[in-house]
Amino acid sequence: DDLALATACLSIVFTNVLTVIKTSTFLAYKREFKSLMAEFERMYDELHEAGAKRCLVTVNVGAKRFVKLYFYSVSCTGLYFTIKPLVSMIWAKFQIKPLVLELPMPMRFPFDFESTPGYQFAYIYTILITIVVVMHATSVDGLFVSFTTNLRGHFQALQYFIETNTYDKSDALIQRELRIYVHYHVRLLELSQSVQRIFKPIIFGQFLMTSLQVCVIIYQLVTNMGVIMEMVVYCTFLSSI
């Protein structure tokens, strides 16, 4: 009967479903993931031109910073959710008010979680699940950023080879270099198709679950328009997804 609680629970359910999709897809394609990582590493080692390697280093540094920022953002959101009930209870005790046993997430369990020791067990379980969700989600998303960034860097390296080549050589040498460029391009296209194939279920799940999450979070924002702390919580949650 509590629509606000139901929508809050749905936002958590959608997050967990998305994590399951990402994790199960990663496990299903773990060999392909490993093969892609090895292939990108091998292609980096095969590059001997300083300018081409500089392209890869530049894009990878940017990707590393982006993934770190994403990880910190999601981690801070999870940390906020996990410590908020503790801070509320400490503040209530400081003001000599009755303690309200509140879980970090609006979750429900098939046992008495509103009293000791069920509450402590539910709290620890929620924290562990939050850590798992954060680690798995950011890991798979980080792999996607890494793969696409390396593809972009290699395409830029190929462009660098073509633009810096003077072609002031014999026809046989030019044909040999052009064959290398074509082979390099075909190799990159095959890698692009592999990345698209293994990330297709994840991207579909990401858009589907995120769309549903946005719906329930917007509802929470509208219903808690006058409560500043609740708005901060849901705005933070919305920004993290």
Q: pLDDT tens digit string along 204-228?
A: 888 888 888 888 878 777 777 777 7
Spatial distance between the Cα atoms of 95 and 92, rounded to a whole number of angstroms: 5
Q: What percent of the chain has pLDDT over 70?
A: 93
Tell me, yes or no, if the pTM score tops 0.85.
Answer: no
Is residue 1 pLDDT above 60, yes or no? Answer: no
Residue spans per domain, the chain = 3-240
Q: What is the pLDDT of residues 20-79, one digit of tens each?
A: 888 888 888 889 989 998 998 888 888 888 888 888 888 888 888 988 888 888 888 788
User: Using an 8 Å Cβ cutoff, are 36 and 147 in contact?
Assistant: yes
Alpha helix positions (H), the chain: 3-28, 30-46, 50-94, 118-164, 171-223, 228-240
Phi-psi region of 96 (alpha: psi -120 to 50; beta: other; left: phi over 0): left
Q: Which residues does 107 contact at the CB level (< 8 Å), separation at least 6? A: 9, 12, 122, 126
Spatial distance between the Cα atoms of 161 and 189, rounded to a whole number of angstroms: 17
Q: What is the pLDDT of residues 79-118, one digit of tens each?
A: 888 888 888 888 888 888 887 788 887 777 888 887 878 8
